[in-house]
Amino acid sequence: MLTLHIANKNYSSWSLRPWVLMRTLNIPFSEQIHPLDTGSSWDTYRTFSPNGRVPCLQDGEYTVWDSLAITEYLAETYPQVWPEDKIARAWARSASAEMHSGFQALRNSCGMSCGHRIQMHEISPALQKDIARIDELWSEGLRKFGGAFLAGNAFTAVDAFFAPVAFRFQTYGLPLSGPATEYLTRLLTIPAMQEWYASSLAETWREPEHEQEILAAGTVLADLRQSTSN
């Protein structure tokens, strides 16, 4: 049985990628949540993850870390992780790699917090550029492969790589064009995303650094998470 080590569902964008992929493709696994803890996550995470980060996948005696490596490891057993068509697969890998190594402004200005709704103080030119590129990529995938998902009719790894972006767009109310908005709604409402979202709202852990970062981005319109005093 595979074990996926992840952090808080409210904040952990990297953890969401393999989780939503495995859930949606019905790949059996058990999850272990290790809440982020300012200053000491690394020590805890190092007990199971070589780089002291999550997500980290354990398959018996094997350990695979980093969301991209986990995705490729899963693809060796479950080819449906990537699109069947060679061109769609190349596009999906390119878009996933671009997400994995880019979009710094979006990551920095719009920290993931599934339960928050924020009116941003400003959308910087760098953030605007990232939003425009995501809009372009999503629109291109939907048009080119003609499906409900980015690289065709099936949910594949490229959709999982953009799943955290979907929560960021929802939290910060970022603007997108028509087809990209429809895709955003579709992605947010698949069962695995709804399951993750419900669990994130039920969490009562609060990590001060993430909370501060989110509050600094704008005005809080709503915090839909369960109260910590319950």
Instruction: Summarize as ranges the residues that interact with ligand GSH (CB under 6 A).
Output: 7, 12-15, 41-42, 45, 53-55, 66-68
| Residue nearer to ligand GSH on the CB measure, 14 or 138 | 14
Looking at the Cβ atoms of 111 and 152, the one nearer to ligand GSH is 111
Nearer to ligand GSH, 67 or 156 (CB): 67
And the tokens for 229?
Answer: 């005093």
Cβ proximity of 188 and 170 under 8 Å: yes
CB of 21 to ligand GSH, least distance (A): 12
- Give the nearest distance from C-beta 126 to ligand GSH in angstroms: 20
The upper half-sphere exposure of residue 115, i.e. CA atoms within 13 Å in the direction of its Cβ, equals 21
Residue 223 forms beta bridges with which residues? 116
CB of 148 to ligand GSH, least distance (A): 26
Distance of closest approach, residue 136 Cβ to ligand GSH, in angstroms: 23
**Edge-first strand listing for the sheet containing 29-33:** 29-33, 2-6, 56-59, 62-65
Read off the tokens for 158: 């490229």
CB of 73 to ligand GSH, least distance (A): 12
Measured in whole angstroms, the distance separating CA 211 from the mean position of its chain's CA atoms is 18
Question: 57 or 142, CB closer to ligand GSH?
Answer: 57
CB-based contacts of 39, cutoff 8 Å, min separation 6: none
**Spatial distance between the Cα atoms of 44 and 169, rounded to a whole number of angstroms:** 31
| Residue 188 buriedness (CB in 10 A; 0-12 / 13-18 / 19+) | middle
Residue closer to ligand GSH, measured from CB, 145 or 172: 172
Whose Cβ is closer to ligand GSH: residue 14's or residue 196's? 14
Shortest reach from residue 112's CB to ligand GSH, in Å: 8
Q: Which helix (H) or strand (E) holds 117?
A: strand 116-120
